[in-house]
Structure 1
Amino acid sequence: MSHIASLIPSQPPDSALALQPIGGATQANRWRTEAMRSHATPRLLFIARGQGRIIIQGLTHGYFANNLIYIPARTMYGFEAGPTVYGHLLTLPRAMASEWPSEAVHLRLRDVMAQKEFLTLFDGLERELSSDRQHARRAAHYQAGLLAVFFARQIDNQRNTGPDVDRRNSSAARLVAAYTDLIERHFPTDKGIADYAASLGVTATHLTRCCRQTSGQSALTLLSDRRHYEACRMLRDTRAPIADVAQVAGYGSAAYFSRVFQARSGQTPSAFRKSVPDQRRAGQH
């Protein structure tokens, strides 16, 4: 498979600070948020309004308005973005990663003053990113740095007081987090749930039980979600033959991939590819 993978572009280089709106996902576009995925660089998810659920490393969290969710690089996650949800997803360049936490953090901004402070910083960042003034990119990076400081201060204020602390430290959550880390490394292979469970020193039954306990999904669903997102991304971002997409995304044969993909998305891989914008032309991440 390595010679095929080398011919297929990986995710677009996340070298630039970028901001994109999220929310109001249609059925056809739900894969863009709900399917498990990870990124080469960190993300900050800001929920301005609405509510839903997000799964990070196999642990489900409820989110609401004025929530900030930081997701480190190579961390598997997926979230609901229904018609009532609106927010933004901030891409943080690799060079700024050291200014942010090393693990996922979910902040709930309940204090009105904290909400106002964040919105002031966020509006400044958004304004500079959309500006054509001289040195706007430089100013945007400074604004992102101020956001990092704000985030660190909020973590200090809320440390060890959030409802997710004990849940993250449970044996089930630790096992499922380790499982999602393995998925990120091995989903392109033909490893099955039994193989992952063996690598973790547990039975497949126990792994699935823990996944359902922490995320409400089975171990197989988490793995299948990650493969589905990768297949969608590759169909959207590359011109690789369907057979190559099937192999690199972990499906094996093109025939099996086509059956599974159509059952889930309602479209054949070829039809899906034609229906989504080419990100290479759109210049989006």
Structure 2
Amino acid sequence: MSEPSQQSEATAETETARPPAVQLRDVSKIYQMGGQAVHALDGVSLSIQRGAYTAVMGPSGSGKSTLMNVVGCLDTPTEGVVEVDGVDVTSLLDTERTALRGDEIGFVFQTFNLMPQQTAQENVELPMTFQGISGAERQDRATELLTRVGLGDRLDHKPSELSGGQRQRVAIARALANDPAIILADEPTGNLDSETEAEILELFEELNAAGNTILVVSHERIVAEHAERIIHLFDGEVEKIEEIDDRRIAGEPGR
């Protein structure tokens, strides 16, 4: 009778020993504008655990986009350390950072960023192409992911033949293609109506419940409240971290 308990304890210890999905230590990003130093990020330290659902909020100019770019390996900090899945990305060469970005990070953008001449399936296959995955495996996984996001009957449709919500579902499936350590979503519902927004947020909740780590950047409180916690940025600094005890349920009326 003690063996299952010991196995559970061993599994828990293994999970605890794994590094966070994202770790920032004293991260600053300074831009020179008109001879003046602008601190887009100013000594930011935070940790995002595996399987967490986190939102980032703040007014325009607070550093939200810079934080997203730094975590997503699209930009490098002026100072500090950024780790993704336990790897110090600030010490990598550009080519190594690009490779890690393809392996460990899935992006979802406000404008979808789909290839207009490719089908939904081909758009989802694209990240896997750069990873050298065989054609048959790419097709199978793309079909699986599109089915998972509710588009199993839209595999051959091009973006122009899909609604805004369906396009974002394709973008989410594409973000999952390489089984990333974290999904970064930048204003993912900004171009959607309220009903479709609720559908996409419900999908994020389902993905998080399945174990995916999600970081959403949004200026909308109603979007951020679907997360487990909200990181509030102001003038490049973490103003506060808010734990959401009563998470908003997708589709419920505003309060």
- Classify the TM-score, shorter chain: under 0.3
Relative to its length, the structure with more helix (as a share) is: 1
Q: Structure 2 length normalisation: TM-score? A: 0.26
Higher relative contact order structure (alpha carbons within 8 Å, sequence separation ≥ 6):
2
